[in-house]
Structure 1
Amino acid sequence: MTIYCLYVFDRHCNCVYYHDWHRTKRPKRANDGGGLLPGVSHALSPLPSSSAAGSAPGTPFSSPRNTLASNSGVLVAFNDGSQSPSGVPTSSATPPPPVQAQGGAGGAASGAGLPFDEEAKLVYGVILSLRNMVKRLSGRDESFVSYRTSTYKLHLFETVSGYRLVMLSDPNAESLRFVMRSIYTGPFLEYVVRNPLVPMDSRVRGVDNEYLRASIDRLVRGLSVFQ
């Protein structure tokens, strides 16, 4: 059994955070202008325009301080980012090098799936439709928490503040609501809710930052269900 990925949606239906682990078919980068907020996932954000400010003609780099070769993906150097006076990186902090595609049975090269902004909309549409269907058929006594297919299981955890955490796992996995609850009450509260530099509920940016991503990754990798 294993865990594939995690989405976090806010009450405006926007995807504000994404993290994956064992996906063999990665989504493409989001379409430029497709509605994906910045600060969701650096590896899946739209590529910067070739006409961006600071670009040098005839070079594969977008700027002298962001020297990621677009043709090879080799990271020569990277921007040291911006930090708050307290040392806590903002959601525009130094991004890690792009995540390489994972191989495996049925695997594909990075960019083989849907654009990420379209994938996020599909995931949210599924949980919203099933959630409404369960409420209409079962009344207020039951709520939608998960569904299973032959290839994956989707788990849903909703908070009182309107955030929805969605996790995809192996179809044989038990309920992972306790994992998403631990993510919300641990890293999310510590590095998002209590961080005055994160523009929550703004419809402007996602909530991704270095400490949040590292803490969620450490928490998930430490689970017995994670392989």
Structure 2
Amino acid sequence: MTIHSLYIYDRHCTCVYYQDWHRTNRPKVAAEGGMLPAVCATIYPTSQQPEANAGTTLTFTSPRNTLTSTTGVVVAVSDSQQQPAPLLQANPTSVGTSSSGLPFDEEAKLVYGVVISLRNMIKKLAGRDESFVNYRTSGYKLHLFETQTGYKFVMLSDPKADSMRFILRQIYVGPFLEYVVRNPLVKMDSREQGIDNEYFRASVDRLIRGLSVFQ
């Protein structure tokens, strides 16, 4: 069993964060204007890179590539956190990974559309007290956790994996609240850019890699 990817959507139906681990077909670079900056550097069009903060560069390593973010996102830390978080280690299994999938902006819209459609269908058929938490196909299992503020955490995993809803909630109450909600330099509920930053991405990666289902 394994975990494939994580999407975070805001209340405007926009994907504001993406991260993947075990994917044989990675999404292609998004179309020009198809996604917000600071969602995931590997799928952000190079020609769209912001120029306002070109002098500020944050470099971090993802499970697949070495990424360079020029979004100028800085994380506010306390005195006890003066040392930067450990950088993510490259995933050796990612060598030769195909990128023959859909452009990321199209993929993100399809994932969100499936989640909303199934959620609405369940409420109409089973009543408003019922909620959609996951569904399974022969190739993957989709898990959903929705916050009171409208953020939707969506994870794709191996179809045999148990419910990951508690993990999504753990991401929300842990790294998300710590490095995004409580960070005064992150624009929450913004239609201008995503919520990606080095500390949040590294913390999520450590949490996921520490799970027993992660291989």
- What band does the TM-score fall into relative to the shorter chain? 0.7 to 0.9
C-alpha distance in structure 2 between counterparts of 1:65 and 1:44, whole Å: 20
- Report deviation, 1:102: 2.8
The one-character-per-residue Cα deviations of 1:41-68 (angstroms, maximum 9, x if unpaired) are 0111112269x97xxxxxxxxx9999xx
| 2:16 equivalent to 1:16 | yes
In structure 2, the partner of 1:48 is: 47
C-alpha distance in structure 2 between counterparts of 1:11 and 1:23, whole Å: 27
In structure 1, the partner of 2:163 is: 175
Judging changes above 3 Å, is the alpha-carbon distance between structure 1 residues 64 and 191 closer, same or farther for their aligned structure 2 residues? closer
Equivalent AA in structure 1 for residue 19 of structure 2: H
In structure 2, the partner of 1:186 is: 174
After superposition, the CA RMSD in angstroms is: 3.2
C-alpha distance in structure 1 between counterparts of 2:10 and 2:73, whole Å: 25
Which 5+ residue runs of structure 2 have no aligned equivalent? Answer: 58-64, 79-87
Equivalent AA in structure 1 for residue 117 of structure 2: S
| 2:211 equivalent to 1:223 | yes
Equivalent AA in structure 2 for residue 40 of structure 1: V
Equivalent AA in structure 1 for residue 94 of structure 2: Q
SS of equivalent residue, structure 1 residue 118:
helix
Judging changes above 3 Å, is the alpha-carbon distance between structure 1 residues 209 and 165 closer, same or farther for their aligned structure 2 residues? same
Judging changes above 3 Å, is the alpha-carbon distance between structure 1 residues 204 and 85 closer, same or farther for their aligned structure 2 residues? closer
Give the structure-2-normalised TM-score.
0.81
Judging changes above 3 Å, is the alpha-carbon distance between structure 1 residues 22 and 140 closer, same or farther for their aligned structure 2 residues? same
In structure 2, the partner of 1:121 is: 109
In structure 1, the partner of 2:123 is: 135
C-alpha distance in structure 1 between counterparts of 2:171 and 2:6, whole Å: 10
| 2:135 equivalent among 144, 147, 152 | 147
Larger Rg: 1
In structure 2, the partner of 1:102 is: 94
| 1:156 equivalent among 139, 144, 153 | 144
C-alpha distance in structure 1 between counterparts of 2:129 and 2:136, whole Å: 21
Which 5+ residue runs of structure 1 have no aligned equivalent? Answer: 54-62, 67-73, 89-95
| 2:185 equivalent to 1:201 | no
SS of equivalent residue, structure 1 residue 18:
strand
4+ aligned runs moved over 4 Å, structure 1:
63-66, 78-88, 98-101
